[in-house]
Amino acid sequence: MSGAELRGAEHARGRMSTAVRRVGVPLGLLWLAFVAAHVYAASIGWFLPALAMGDTVFVYEPWARAALGGGPIVGITESWVYPQVALLPILIAQGISELLHPLLPGRYAVGSASYVVAWSILVTALDAVGFAFLLRAARAGRSRIRQRAAWFWVAALVALGPIAMFRIDAVTVPLAIIGGLWLLSRPAVASALFTIGAWIKIWPGALFVSALVLLRNRVRMIGAAVIVTVVVVLSLVALGGGKYLFGFLSQMSGRGLQIEAVGATPLLWLTQIGVTRIQYSHEILTFELAGPGVAAVGAVLTPLMALAVVAIAVLALRKLRAGASVRRLLPATMLAMVAVLIACNKIGSPQFQVWLLTPLILWWLFDRPRVRVPAILLLVDYALTQAVYPVAYDELLRAEPLAIALLSARNVMVVVICVIAIRALMRTPVPLRKSEES
């Protein structure tokens, strides 16, 4: 082989190596990991203690059966803890369950088990749509970044375990991720998706508020949100649910301080000396704290949440007006707001942790150099969450010190993630003005 041919071959190998670095691993391997992670999260719940699919089995399926069997319809004929669009995936899962009956073997073919399998299929299908949108890179140079974000999603799902799938919150994650991916190119569509998500579980509203503060297309975004809301409201009124239209807000405001709430952590330790105690609320089907100081802490948290959201919005807007990059401000603002919704919430359900995934996915895409620390912290947070629920949840209900310590570490991690996000927001660089340069 001549020298020219050798140089040509080396050049070709160099171009191939560059292409491989850009493209990353084969997409087939990523999809295989995606499927494996969902199979793991869906199946491990059958073997872990505390029945991680509890809400799916004991709450969602009875709601679906009642609604389709001529009984009461939550959110329509009676007040409900969720926004009414949340009933749609619950009913869809029931339809899938009916189709699965003749196909499933043994114990999986009957009753609640069939509904659990159907719910797993529904969540996996929705996640697959979001995953496909994430991997659809517009430019070859960005494909590797998106693949890293996809690997992070897979790792997060494994770290969080079954709670990442077996709650209504799981349905909102792919909606929020797709909306985030379209924020800069199709803000009206993104706004519509966030609004639909908020009518399932309120938290995507924090993503909408963040985008509204930082993006220029506010009129289009508000218009899209209004259209979605009007369609939902008119549909509910037509179905006879006007009386309970915003019942979920009153249900939330009347709730006590849940044992897993971040703000409940110091009071939870007081169970060790008998000052506070854990009790079960039959009205909202959850465990709450009772004792001195509990009501006061619960009363402070909601106003504190509102003040924190406003403060983050003001900080982000000031940074934007100073000239900071929108792409760098958006993920930090979203993560800060979502983390505040968790940290200042009277409810501390483990599934709330899935809310943090969307801002981190977007952070990978918009501001990758600063994402490593919050991404690692989130994986630690997820591992601690799974260690608490379902692994050590029975021990937590008995107020055993080790379980309380695990929960406390998880709650501290939520606060740390919130602080890291606010710090990143504050440290987002702004261009120097001419007077400052001189």
Q: Predicted confidence band at 20 (pLDDT cuts at 50, 70, 90)? A: very low
pTM: 0.91
Tokens 């249900």 sit on residue:
251
Asked if the model's pLDDT at residue 61 lies above 60, the reply is yes
Q: What pLDDT is recorded for position 141?
A: 45
pLDDT surpassing 70 at residue 415: yes
Q: What is the mean pLDDT of the segment spanning 254-265?
A: 92
pLDDT at 165 over 70: yes
Mean pLDDT to the nearest integer, 377-392: 97
User: Max Cα separation, the chain?
Assistant: 87
Q: Which amino acid is at 13?
A: R
pLDDT for 353 beyond 80: yes
pLDDT category at 105 given cuts 50, 70, 90 is low
Residue type, 160: L
Confirm if 117 and 104 have CB atoms less than 8 A apart. Answer: yes
Least confident of 32-41, 64-73, 243-252, 328-337: 243-252
pLDDT(21) > 80? no
**pLDDT for the residue 110:** 46
What pLDDT sits at residue 410? 98
- Show the tokens assigned to 169: 């919150």
Mean pLDDT over residues 125-141, rounded?
Answer: 81
CA–CA distance, 205 with 209 (Å, rounded to integer) = 6
Residue 272 has pLDDT above 90, yes or no: yes
Average pLDDT over residues 344-359: 96
Choose the weakest-confidence range: 111-115, 125-129, 260-264, 349-353.
111-115
Report the length, in residues, of the chain: 438
Across-strand partners of 78? Answer: 74
Work out the pLDDT band at 438, boundaries 50, 70, 90: very low
Q: Note the pLDDT of residue 26.
A: 84
| Nearest-angstrom CA–CA distance, 175 and 190 | 9
To the nearest whole percent, how much of the chain has pLDDT over 70? Answer: 89
| Start-end of H helices in 45-168 | 54-55, 61-68, 87-100, 111-135, 140-160
Q: Give the pLDDT band (50/70/90) at residue 113.
A: confident
Cα 115 to its chain centre, rounded Å, is 22
All structural domains of the chain with their residue ranges: 254-428
The pLDDT tens digits for 289-348 are 999 999 999 999 999 999 999 999 999 999 999 999 999 999 999 999 999 999 999 999
pLDDT value for 16:
36
Instruction: Give dist(CA 223, CA 226) in Å, integer.
Output: 5
Range with top average pLDDT, 75-79, 95-99, 311-315, 364-368: 311-315
Question: What integer pLDDT is reported at residue 112 of this predicted model?
Answer: 77
* Of residues 6 and 54, more confidently modeled: 54
pLDDT, the chain, mean: 90
Helix, strand, coil share of the chain (percent; to 5): 75, 5, 25
How many whole angstroms separate alpha carbon 248 and alpha carbon 82? 5
Quickly state the pLDDT bin for 65 (edges 50, 70, 90): very high
Q: Decide if 337 contacts 206 (C-beta within 8 A).
A: yes
Using alpha carbons, select from 195, 116, 124, 152 the residue that is nearest to residue 358.
Answer: 152
| Helix orientation angle between 111-135 and 61-68, rounded to the nearest 10 degrees | 100
* H/E stretch holding 276: none
Helix (H, G, I), strand (E, B) or coil at 254: coil
pLDDT of residue 46: 87
pLDDT at 19: 40
- Band of pLDDT at residue 142, cut at 50, 70 and 90: low
Q: Determine the average pLDDT of the residues in 203-232.
A: 96
The pLDDT score that the predictor gives to residue 50 is 77
Q: Is the pLDDT of residue 278 over 70?
A: yes
Residue 366 and residue 370: Cα distance in Å, rounded? 10
pLDDT value of residue 255:
81
- Within 8 A by CB and 6+ apart from 388, the residues are 260, 350, 396, 403, 406, 407, 410
Give the per-residue pLDDT at 11: 52
Residue 15 has pLDDT above 50, yes or no: no
pLDDT value for 8: 52
